[in-house]
Structure 1
Amino acid sequence: MRRNARTIALTVGALLLTLGSPAASASAGEAPGSTGAARTGAGTAAGTEPRIDLRVLVVTDGGPATAAVAAELDAGGTPYTLVDLSRAGRPVIDAAFLADTTGTGDGRPRAKFQAVVLPNDAPFPAGSAETAALVAYERTYGIPQVDAYSYARPQNGLDYPVPGGYSGSVDGIHAEVTAAGRAGPFGYLKGPVTFEDNAPSVSESYAFLSRPAAGADFTTYVDAPIPGRSTRGVLVGEYRHDGRRELVVTFAYNQYQRQFRTLARGIVDWMTQSVRLGTTRNYFAVHVDDVFAADDRWDTVLNCTPGDVDCRPGEGTPRPIRMTPEDVTHAVDWSRERGITLDLAFNGGGSVEHRADNGGADPMADRFVADRDAFRWINHTYDHAYLGCEQDVSAVPWKCVTDAGGATRWVSRAEIDHQIADNRRWAERAGLPLRAGELVTGEHSGLRLLPQQPDDNPQLAPAVTAEGVRWLGADNSRDPGQRQVGSALTVARHPINIFYNAGRIAEQVDEYNWIYTSRAHGGSGLCEELATTTCLDAPLDPATGYQNHIVPLETATALGHVLSGDPRPHFIHQSNLAEDRIGYPVLDGVLDQYAALFAADTPLVNLPMSGIGAELRDRAAWHEAVTAGRASGYRIGSTVTVTAPAGLPVAATMPAGTTRTGSGGPAAFGEPYAGTVSGRVAPDGAGGLTLALPAVPAADATAPAAAPEPARVPAGRPPVPAGVARPVPYGAAG
């Protein structure tokens, strides 16, 4: 099959969340040994429950740690206010900035933030009025504080890291969540948290490992072995002192690193006590393109793909790659064993052509049709035609054909209609359970494609509208943002860098070497021309390069998308499930590593394309409303109220056991995930939504507040290695 580009009415109202009566155990978000003060706002004047806004204060010094926490809040749709200490004219953090009264006539105190994130435990000078204001605020309203990356020292409940501890690189360490961490905010994890070590020559993380200070009320949540010793040192823990709670983090990180991505949910759960606006999941969906068709094969001598546009017309002999019935059986068995439903983007014309060339027989298609319910099916057009501009393929790279006046000549509306409609009709005749409204055009064609085609084919939008398409696949590497195309919204898909024109490991490694090695090493030199690509130090070994380099790299990349809560699907091609079945090692790597890391209550969410598109749409709408201040929430005592624009579902996360009450009786709120319940919820018929949260323990008697400990600010900020300030790609040093 010829290819044309290489694959590189919620009315403004209230969501009422009502706390229940005391229970025997704390929720997942309640720290062992903590009191109920932080959740109920104890410490204010008796008889006047304060209002606590569901918004986080993030104070940054420009470092990557606070940026990472802010990015996590952003991704979930949790409101926050950012104060940059390095900017002139920034707001002063004083009592008026942190709290006021509601102005509703009752003089009710209002805490403007439910949590505070600081770059470290002492970002202000000793004796600072801003420090005093924060201390008073946190005591009064029971507000938790996160020290995003801090020295280990007695002021934050830890011994100094020397003697007896460690300070330095922690690349490649295997940290563990403690029993307290599993019983508390990190209960969604079960396996070790492995710190990245992508390049031996680059320091990618840094930590201060030490033990809790003598007499400190400190609970360790995540720790790691102290190098050269039999003891373990704290990486994340809670320090209770002075009527306040701090989450102390002693390792450096950025928002992309696996260790932060793994622990980020727990950090946010701790600071919000799992009562917040916004919601996150870990998603994994896999699209397999070109099913029923055949993919052209890479020629290891010509270094191009005969039959496709990277070879000149007539150059080489096409040798197509196409799945067999045995490959179909393997895909069915794999999908059932792994609990992942593959989404098959199919070209019915491929089967018609195969039958015409083989006396009417197509056993592979027959097997797929017999096992059709094992998969989800997406219209991929009838025979994979290019639906953008008309192409001039007489040269490499190809270019768009233009008329005498220089205007681009486009593939016709009739051809686009034929490709969509005929493939749908073929599926109906075959009995495939085609998902209505989903479309992936061949090579995402019709959509803009730089550099040759900077605009969509103007015939595409009316065609997809006429065909009732609501979700249109796009290439995330070229067209990442969701946008409207006629009746459809695009759904960007992540390409896995396993080539469509490779069915054998040898072909994959050979083409990989051609693309990613310099001319001096026998490659194409493309990596030297593209600023976004890193050249290999040397060509990969044909015998080991796939398993030792390509599979770990692509697994790490895909898993990174999963851990960041990105719902966008990944895609490979039917050729990758044929012959050597080179697609499975990457998919298995993602699934195996995820299963080893996360508890059973935090499964991968495997959505169809329509579900992914709806999640991206709703997420963007919620983010816009939160950013514009049109969606917000607050808590007064046992009630939380959320306001949002009419018609916008409210995104919220609550403790497990939360129930929805109403005229129909109690019903479960949201869906259970990672020890909480969450979702995007609409109001009931009465125009509001009332939720009853699980009971929390009665507050323990608190000790008299101690005087603030003297600030002891070290010289400069904690060190941030280059590998934290600038993410290190896998294998950068070979």
Structure 2
Amino acid sequence: MKRSIRTTALTVGAVVAAVGLPAGAARAADATPRIDLRVLVVSDGGPSTDAIAEELDTAGTPYTEIDLTQAGRPVIDAGFLADTVDGRPRARFQAVVLPNDNPFTAGSSEMAALAAYERTYAIPQVDAYTYARPEAGLQYPVFGGYSGSVDGVQASVTSAGRAGPFDYLDGTVPFEDNDPAVGESYAYLSTPVAGADFTSYVDAPIPGRSTRGSLVGEYRHDGRRELVVTFVYNQYQQQFRLLARGIVEWMTGGVHLGASRNYFAVHVDDVFAADDRWNSTLNCTPGDVDCADPDAEPDPIRMTPADVDHAIAWQNSRGLTLDLAYNAAGSVNQREDNNGVDALADKLIADRSEFRWINHTYSHPFLGCVQDTTVVPWKCATNADGSTRWVSRAEISDEVAINRVWGQAARLPLDDGELVTGEHSGMKVLPQQPEDNPNLALALDDNDITWLGSDNSRDPAQRQLGPATTVPRYPMNVFYNAGRAADQVDEYNWIYTSRAQGGSGICEDNPATSTCLPAPLNTATGYAEHIVPLEKRIALGHVLSNDPKPHFIHQSNLAEDRIAYPVLNGVLDGYDALFADNAPVVNLRMKDIGIELRRRAAWQAALKDGQVTAYRIGDAVTVQAPDGLAVTATAPTGTTLGGASFGSAYAGGTSGWTPSVGTPLDLTLPASATTPAAKATDPAPATDPAPDTRVPAGVTEQVPYPAGN
């Protein structure tokens, strides 16, 4: 049975005394250093150290950042790096991240202090982006290597990488080339210096040669271990997103606070209802409030039973469950208009257990202010005193309750606490409605709603609205009013081209829009050639960013041409080509996503306030956190908590949430979780600063689309 660290320490002392060993032996047993589970990030303002810091942030792994460009920053010396706690030597950081292998000036006492610290406590160092040179274990690129663009290069994880920190990858690491006119990646490819203890984990072909050069590798020397990264990146680029987990696992030995997984959930809105079709002549959607034309009739798009069969077969083939957000009035109206017949509803209800279901209100009304549609764009109607007219509490409550009762009668497997309102209405929407409908929170309370879907594009932060916590959802640029690819492209052209090209001019008015087009897409080929790859890239970026937020489409996208599937397949095919079986996509329902986001927010707040302390002594890890806080950690397979297995398996390790009860959480690591020793060879000059490794002039450090996409 596992004992706490304190009990184990006392037992060791008692055993020493009992067998009559000299006192020095007891002191040696107690002198095992304490390693605090915190990372030191030393930044020079470049994108690579920022990317690693962002990865730590997102995972919930604590770190201390020192910006070398800031005046008055702390000095890195022996006292800053280590001290003594309760008579035991303490290393204050479990890993060090530097912008390159030596960012300091010649003869720097700070670099000397770091080198001594790393040797003394077996602390690994990550060189976030460094020049290939002997001091980093590599030949200069001029000796048979390469320096230059690696846009579009297909790098590979080596056998050592797959057996080590990158075991969650299938092998290929493609470098992005999103725009041929923009330089996106720069690298130094080189081979190890003769005699160097250097193991490459990720490499790529050296142009014009039959050899391969390292992009990520481990250099062991002078009792130290360095992860040498020789390509520049930022936090949004796919190549970094693929390798980020492995970088963190390498530097922490797979033992750290925080956790990271790859998530993908897809909500399908408006199920049972019909979505009105885009009109390419009017450049709007008849039936919408901003498309008033007396001669234009709505042209509805609605799924068929065959579409349901296709969705089920697709789910089974992909191992992913869709969440259907339903409007019961769509079926009620269908039966009223067709002598009681609704083949779609019959099919969906018969196959209800194949999907997850979410209440989307009964008839999908706008639940914010009362809309004045006599003007375009619409505005909020006002009362005689000039105050905003709001949809009432009773109207909102009825929409929620009636839809729920209908779903319960149909025995849909609902979670009664989940709700997505039509158009996310009731919540603030700019510019017309800058505040929430005050009646919404009251109606949510009437119906015991605890999780409320919101639009991530306008309300990205999780927040509380009455009894409900929001779950931000990513809108996919596959339009609700399109069931055919040609209609999707026509509307896409209208939105994202200039007025001179027959478009809306939105991009001219908002030049930061990331999806602007230089010219209209071909309606026959534009969807497959342009829209699908772009939407796949954006969604896959979310999946690779430890981001559990769901994406949403509409039932119209599963009908007619079934235009959602090429995008969804693109995401999943792209993922499957990159990741090993031990890192499957995690597919959560809305409530569980909300819980995950809420736990993360509480955890981040506790870290920020310094309420969490964690450290490792030998094979034992102790975490002290406030009572009631859910603690998140990652550890090697075989780790135990209170004698039971800790966490659940993912990407070669285990991770999970554990509630704190105010007393220390004690994890016991498996015997295999030892820190690899570094070779004690003659050191490379630790005080010789690295050359400038910033990207050459004219090569961008940013991908050609903003972070918000």
TM-score, normalised relative to structure 2: 0.94
* Aligned residue number for residue 30 of structure 1: none
1:16 and 1:641 in contact (8 A); partners too:
no
* Aligned residue number for residue 682 of structure 2: 706
Listed as ranges, the matches of 1:366-515 within 5 Å are 366-515=346-495
Q: In the TM superposition, what is the alpha-carbon distance from 1:698 to its structure 2 partner?
A: 7.7
Q: Aligned AA for 1:657?
A: G
* Aligned residue number for residue 253 of structure 1: 233
Q: Partners in 1 of 2:256 and 2:8 — Cα distance?
A: 14
2:107 and 2:688 in contact (8 A); partners too:
no
Aligned residues: 686
Deviates more, 1:533-542 or 1:129-138: 533-542
Q: Partners in 1 of 2:676 and 2:323 — Cα distance?
A: 53
2:621 and 2:669 in contact (8 A); partners too:
no
Q: In the TM superposition, what is the alpha-carbon distance from 1:659 to its structure 2 partner?
A: 2.5
SS at match of 2:195: coil
* Aligned residue number for residue 611 of structure 1: 592
Q: Partners in 1 of 2:191 and 2:83 — Cα distance?
A: 39
Identify which of 512, 516, 533 aligns with 2:513: 533
SS at match of 1:459: helix
* Aligned residue number for residue 276 of structure 2: 296
2:141 and 2:190 in contact (8 A); partners too:
yes
1:193 and 1:262 in contact (8 A); partners too:
yes
Distance 1:450 1:116, change over 3 A: same
2:220 and 2:679 in contact (8 A); partners too:
no
* Aligned residue number for residue 96 of structure 1: 79
* Aligned residue number for residue 728 of structure 1: 704
Q: In the TM superposition, what is the alpha-carbon distance from 1:711 to its structure 2 partner?
A: 4.4
Q: Partners in 1 of 2:505 and 2:75 — Cα distance?
A: 53
Identify which of 223, 227, 236 aligns with 2:207: 227
Distance 1:204 1:697, change over 3 A: closer
Task: Confirm whether residue 262 of structure 1 aligns to residue 238 of structure 2.
Answer: no
Q: Aligned AA for 1:631?
A: V
Q: In the TM superposition, what is the alpha-carbon distance from 1:316 to its structure 2 partner?
A: 1.4
Provide the alpha-carbon RMSD of the alignment.
2.0
1:237 and 1:247 in contact (8 A); partners too:
yes
* Aligned residue number for residue 691 of structure 1: 667
2:5 and 2:620 in contact (8 A); partners too:
no
Q: Aligned AA for 1:369?
A: I
Q: In the TM superposition, what is the alpha-carbon distance from 1:706 to its structure 2 partner?
A: 2.8
SS at match of 1:268: helix
Q: Aligned AA for 1:512?
A: Y
Which structure carries more relative contact order (alpha carbon 8 Å, separation 6+)? 1
Task: Confirm whether residue 280 of structure 1 aligns to residue 236 of structure 2.
Answer: no
Q: Aligned AA for 1:551?
A: V
* Aligned residue number for residue 169 of structure 2: 189
1:198 and 1:729 in contact (8 A); partners too:
no
Q: In the TM superposition, what is the alpha-carbon distance from 1:416 to its structure 2 partner?
A: 0.2
Q: 1:593-640, CA deviations, whole angstroms, 9 ceiling, x for partnerless residues?
A: 101100001000000000000000000100111111101201122221
* Aligned residue number for residue 12 of structure 2: none
Task: Confirm whether residue 320 of structure 1 aligns to residue 296 of structure 2.
Answer: no
SS at match of 1:344: strand
Q: Partners in 1 of 2:107 and 2:624 — Cα distance?
A: 39
2:628 and 2:660 in contact (8 A); partners too:
no
Q: 1:517-557, CA deviations, whole angstroms, 9 ceiling, x for partnerless residues?
A: 11111111111111331431110011110001000000000
Identity of aligned residues (%): 65
Q: Aligned AA for 1:69?
A: I
1:62 and 1:84 in contact (8 A); partners too:
yes
Q: Aligned AA for 1:295?
A: D
Deviates more, 1:517-526 or 1:151-160: 517-526
Q: Partners in 1 of 2:167 and 2:494 — Cα distance?
A: 45
Distance 1:408 1:676, change over 3 A: same
Q: Partners in 1 of 2:349 and 2:698 — Cα distance?
A: 53
Runs of at least 5 residues in structure 2 that lack an aligned partner in the other structure: 10-26
Q: In the TM superposition, what is the alpha-carbon distance from 1:704 to its structure 2 partner?
A: 4.7
Q: In the TM superposition, what is the alpha-carbon distance from 1:126 to its structure 2 partner?
A: 1.5
* Aligned residue number for residue 651 of structure 2: 674
Q: Aligned AA for 1:607?
A: L
Deviates more, 1:715-724 or 1:318-327: 715-724
Q: In the TM superposition, what is the alpha-carbon distance from 1:692 to its structure 2 partner?
A: 2.8
Q: Partners in 1 of 2:472 and 2:703 — Cα distance?
A: 23
Distance 1:171 1:237, change over 3 A: same
2:232 and 2:701 in contact (8 A); partners too:
no
* Aligned residue number for residue 59 of structure 1: 42
SS at match of 2:106: coil
Q: Partners in 1 of 2:5 and 2:292 — Cα distance?
A: 63
Q: Partners in 2 of 1:442 and 1:682 — Cα distance?
A: 36
Runs of at least 5 residues in structure 1 that lack an aligned partner in the other structure: 1-13, 20-43
Distance 1:16 1:672, change over 3 A: farther
Identify which of 598, 610, 625 aligns with 2:579: 598
Deviates more, 1:715-724 or 1:503-512: 715-724
Q: 1:103-124, CA deviations, whole angstroms, 9 ceiling, x for partnerless residues?
A: x2x2x11111000000000100
Distance 1:698 1:306, change over 3 A: closer
Q: 1:473-522, CA deviations, whole angstroms, 9 ceiling, x for partnerless residues?
A: 00000000000011100000000000000010110000000000111111
Distance 1:697 1:622, change over 3 A: closer
* Aligned residue number for residue 145 of structure 1: 125
1:155 and 1:711 in contact (8 A); partners too:
no
Deviates more, 1:675-684 or 1:166-175: 675-684
Q: Partners in 2 of 1:45 and 1:246 — Cα distance?
A: 28
Q: Partners in 1 of 2:678 and 2:170 — Cα distance?
A: 33
Q: Aligned AA for 2:126?
A: V
Distance 1:515 1:329, change over 3 A: same
* Aligned residue number for residue 151 of structure 2: 171
Q: Aligned AA for 2:648?
A: E
Deviates more, 1:718-727 or 1:248-257: 718-727
Deviates more, 1:183-192 or 1:702-711: 702-711
SS at match of 2:83: strand
Deviates more, 1:190-199 or 1:506-515: 190-199
Distance 1:729 1:635, change over 3 A: same
Q: Partners in 2 of 1:60 and 1:699 — Cα distance?
A: 25
Q: Aligned AA for 1:251?
A: F
Detail structure 1 runs of 4+ shifted over 6 Å in the superposition.
14-19, 697-702
* Aligned residue number for residue 632 of structure 1: 613
Q: Partners in 2 of 1:351 and 1:495 — Cα distance?
A: 25
Identify which of 199, 205, 216 aligns with 1:236: 216
